[in-house]
A and B are shown apart, each in its own frame.
Chain A
Amino acid sequence: MTEEIIIAGFGGQGVLSMGKILAYSGIMEGKEVSWMPSYGPEMRGGTANVTVIVSDERVCSPIINAFDTAVILNQQSLDKFESKVKPGGYLLYDPNGITKKPTRKDINIYTIEGAQLASDMGNSKVFNMIILGAFLKLRPIIDDKNVEEGLRHSLPERAHKLIPLNMEAVKVGKDNVKQA
């Protein structure tokens, strides 16, 4: 099993940390992982994307051109990465702010109202965990208990009290992913 994922959006949306939690969860699942960021010089407001690879084998190249799954969180990223999903692959996006919808017919396209659901939960910071949940529903490559373990390793100890809230967000994401 090798799952090659791009997560792309604005800086500040939690793209890089979602990738990190996914990678740590992969390690807890006993997989090989890589996390390779690519972000503009801006800390906030610029585009941010991260390539995460989760595999049974040693990861050859952390930098890849085609993805099994693209997780897209803004229009610029959709424009850039829709064409880079492998045929038969998955594209998951948050329709919030998307004006030009994806058009490909040879991939599986799903939506998750991440921004809306986070707002409903009363905490905009769990946005990326809702997205992670939606991703894991489509690509069940990691067990929930290992996601929890991944969170424990990637969050500083003072934030461990937030793990139940984050796991709740993962569940909300899983329950609300929809075929586009």
Chain B
Amino acid sequence: MGELKLMKGNEALAEAAIRYGADAYFGYPITPQSEVIEYLSEQNPYERTGMVVLQAESELAAINMVYGAGASGKRVMTSSSSPGVCLKQEGLAYIAGAEIPCVFADVVRGGPGLGTIQPSQADYFQNTKGGGNGDYRNLVLAPASVQEMCDFVALGFDLAFKYRMAACILSDGAIGQMMEKVVLPDQKPRMSDEEIKAKYPWAINGRKNGTQHRIITSLDLDSAKMEEHNIHLQKKYKEIEENEVRYEMINCDDAEYVFVAYGSSARIAQKSVQLGREAGLKVGLLRPITLWPYPTKAIDALIKKGVKGFLSVELSCGQMIEDVRLACNGRVKAEHFGRVGGIIHTPEEVLEAMKKQIIGE
């Protein structure tokens, strides 16, 4: 068993990157995730593992540093919060096009615009449906605890390198700033340049001894080649949709009505399930862990098992509800409930919404 600590989600994310053997972090501070770069600066990872931590002059610079370092096969991470992630979208589209593995965390705050520094989940669309240009996807992992803030760094890097794409850790101000216990993994060594060369034949890390030159780009002026590239990307996304869906079901075995919630909302909805069960209601919780790929088939299976309605619970005006409704395809009722502007719904009001909007009391 690893080391047990009481940590903030943001700190656990940062510590996990060091322990995974990440090569670099490039970022720019913004509330509510400034603890990531604060913690990394304090820990002096260059002394611990040789990991580079650099505060860039802007979010744009940070994401393009990620592009460069990632293209050379290094394990690179960045993080920001909503308005900062907007600035990174151009870079993320290029990263998708050029198939560069990386991990980025978005500790979401309220919006639109500068919004508020309080927790929010209103950037579901931005991260799961694109945000940059072009037909692309990012893997999106939604931690619901400080432990998952830690664990999803390793998972994110593993998936990012398996599929050569960006993996997003979509968190919020509650998970980022709350402290709870976390079991930290053991320190892994960083990969040597030789290991990277042997393992990643696509990486650009110096052409020597007559090896063929490698190209990392998102651009091809030949339409036929560009179409082929897009088809290749879509094939990869399809494979991910088949193989990488992750979710958790709580009290769903005999459930008639199911909350669908991720991240901090999932914790609140879990309490609503407990309160509902105590009141004799057959309610359960589906917690998507991957937001893309979405657990569409899990919703389908629940409907086939007899679930009569879903309530999507998000700290937003209704974004994930669209994916819930796509999965339901009109067969059963699916509605949205959520507080916004930095206000966090209580377990009681979430249960009340289920009764009013879905069960119909």
Contacts and interface: CB of A to CB of B under 8 A. Distances in A.
Interface of A: 20, 23-24, 27, 32-37, 41, 59-65, 153-154
Interface centre among B5, B117, B181, B270 (most CB of A within 10 A): B181
B270 A61 contact: yes
11 contacts: A23-B180, A32-B180, A33-B181, A36-B178, A37-B178, A60-B267, A60-B274, A61-B268, A62-B178, A63-B264, A64-B346
Interface of B: 4-6, 117, 174, 177-181, 264, 267-268, 270-271, 274, 344, 346-348
A62 B136 CA distance: 35
Given A63-B344, A64-B346, A153-B6, A33 B180 contact: yes
B174 A60 contact: no
Given A32-B181, A33-B181, A65-B348, A60 B270 contact: yes
Contacts of B346: 61, 63-65
Contacts of B5: 153
A32 B271 CA distance: 15
Nearest to B146: A34
B177 A37 contact: yes
Contacts of A63: 174, 264, 268, 344, 346
A34 B4 CA distance: 14
B177 A20 contact: no
Contacts of A20: 6, 179
Given A63-B344, A65-B348, A23 B179 contact: yes
Contacts of A60: 267-268, 270-271, 274, 347
Contacts of B174: 36, 62-63
A29 to B, nearest CB: 12
A37 B9 CA distance: 12
B6 A154 contact: yes
Contacts of B268: 60-61, 63
A34 B270 contact: no
A36 B177 contact: yes
Contacts of A36: 174, 177-179
